[in-house]
A and B are shown apart, each in its own frame.
Chain A
């Protein structure tokens, strides 16, 4: 996907070196339209490629939904293989003889009608309903966790860069190194075992799930309070696990910006420190992080798998992992489609807004 490099190229279309690969057709139209249309089409192509890739991928996975379910029934109940087979085979409505191409054509046809199909392991349940059931919780928890750790990381990282080599810098650096080093799922387990079981700071059982049973989801205080309460542990874990890397990235980024000439110039001009911190250093230092953030948004949606299992906070990650475990092909395909679309479009958004944040790019663009 083209990002702002082509933006730059396009912006310079009147300069002595016009871009070669823009066709005559687009020349007749205003340049930005051409650009937006192109990156949008590229996004669609990426999604289509991922979708097709996933379609083949899931069918190459070892094991298949029928056998996995048979195995599950066999381990749970004392029945023979024959009985389990009878029971499972009858409750699936997939045609095992259909060729992969036929299945693919059917699937794409359904997709064009915005239909993600029905679940294989729970026939009759629409995949879109399942995703709609689980996705919002993940967006909520991951979103909060990400926002908090991003903001916190920016602030702490800049602090570290400004007070370089001070005790504060060193201790924060150690802490952040530790946060980064310990995998997020380990944080989850440690939180359950330490504060949860050993010290009994909170009630492990009551903290499970996404909200208290018996409440009606909606815009009422009780429900919202309950939802926040239940999301606290996952959010806390997300913050712990991602804070360190934001801090360190922000610190190194700030450090390099601090050495840039324009900061010195600004200082020489006698601008107030606060002004320099926010509009000069902060803004420029955040640039590389902003690129990182846009990548992370899509990426992190699927990364909560283990955390959601540990805290029994069932969101999208749990759904995807469950679908993979039981080899629910349509479920996996639907989830991956959502994931990759989120990723691709958040990148698109990042590309489009990139210029707003980088004064240098904007200046060139306005030339």
Chain B
């Protein structure tokens, strides 16, 4: 605007930090009046902490553990001992004892810090069958050749409860007890099809997804706002052209278009996906905004402004925008949720790049590797689904609150 360089403007720039601070104070105060909206707001902050800050403190679990495949929520490594040694419960108790661990399971890394005090007997994961290494160790434990064994809760349940070999099962049951069911840290959300901790994947899997969705939302909303209001205000050839363009984009089915784009353009960066979704996503909102502007244009106050000879810019920014801001804001949020929905849909259909291990990729792998049909392993797919769903819910709740905070008419009514 023409006042951009005036001293007044610079002064207001200087005041900005304070204005921002007091502004947010008032904003939050106002939000608190709307309980659901406030919950949404807190939820979004929680998501921000979860996906942008926690990754710096919690490392991504990439260690493959063959006995922990599709472990249920809360499963962990336990300590199995001979019935006579039930008093051995902690690593301290095990000092100077011999403890068995099987390679390619979580055991070796868990016991590593105690290598000085504990004698470690390693068993090989000799075969594809989940048994031999573990079964050999269990038999040795039953024979008291070793004093304890680190074993995954799901595995021990399976072997003690319904091992195919009934004779062996009887031996295990007779001699072996779990002295400490909580030896290792629990997998809060269970483990995936490679025996890795899902909770750490949830922590690391949201950042790119959220950024992509926001990028998509910002781009589509901006285009929609500009194109929609200009079309409606200026009319004529511009309106026809833009409406035709939006119709064209809407009329090309998204699926084949994205298959082609995914094949033609190599996405080195998932964020490009957001740009693409944004560039293709504006027409519906543009049409809605156009309709709004057209409807506003007929209102008395705009007619009045027009008859006063005020400029289009003035009418747009001073008369119409304040009246549309709630609509645009709520639709901006929806644009984010839509961008999220769309990128997840692409991922689930296998049409988007799966290089970054995001919630969408977890869902894709979880589904294609059948975890949804397995009670124990379902969280590989369900955890990201819930993470996505609650994120969307928070967004929508927040949008609601924003609507009330920003809508001038609602405000005056309060």
Contacts and interface: CB of A to CB of B under 8 A. Distances in A.
Interface stretch (B62-70, B272-280, B385-393): B385-393
Interface string A278-289: 000000000110
Contact of B250 (A53, A321, A343): A343
A291 B287 contact: yes
Given A177-B392, A344-B247, A364-B298, A6 B345 contact: no
A186 B381 CA distance: 10
B251 A62 contact: no
A58 B298 CA distance: 45
Interface string A158-186: 00000001000010011011101111011
Interface stretch (B164-172, B192-200, B234-242, B312-320): B234-242
A46 B232 CA distance: 20
Nearest to A186: B385
Nearest to A189: B372
Interface in B368-386: 372-373, 385
A287 B291 CA distance: 9
B393 A181 contact: yes
Interface string B125-147: 00000000000000000000000
Nearest to A259: B409
**B contact face: mostly helix, strand, loop, or mixed:** helix
B159 interface: no
Interface stretch (B93-101, B103-111, B396-404): B396-404
A50 B248 contact: yes
**A contact face: mostly helix, strand, loop, or mixed:** helix
Interface stretch (A71-79, A212-220, A294-302): A294-302
A332 to B, nearest CB: 6
Contacts of B283: 295
B413 interface: yes
Interface in A346-367: 347, 358, 360-361, 364
B232 A336 contact: no
24 contacts: A2-B239, A3-B243, A4-B294, A61-B256, A62-B264, A165-B34, A173-B36, A177-B393, A177-B396, A181-B392, A181-B395, A189-B367, A256-B326, A287-B295, A291-B287, A298-B250, A298-B251, A299-B250, A302-B253, A306-B345, A306-B349, A321-B255, A347-B247, A358-B295
Interface of B: 34-36, 231-232, 235-237, 239-240, 243-244, 247-248, 250-257, 259-260, 263-264, 283-284, 287-288, 290-292, 294-295, 298, 326-327, 330, 334, 337, 341, 344-345, 348-349, 367, 372-373, 385, 388-393, 395-397, 400, 403, 407, 409-410, 413
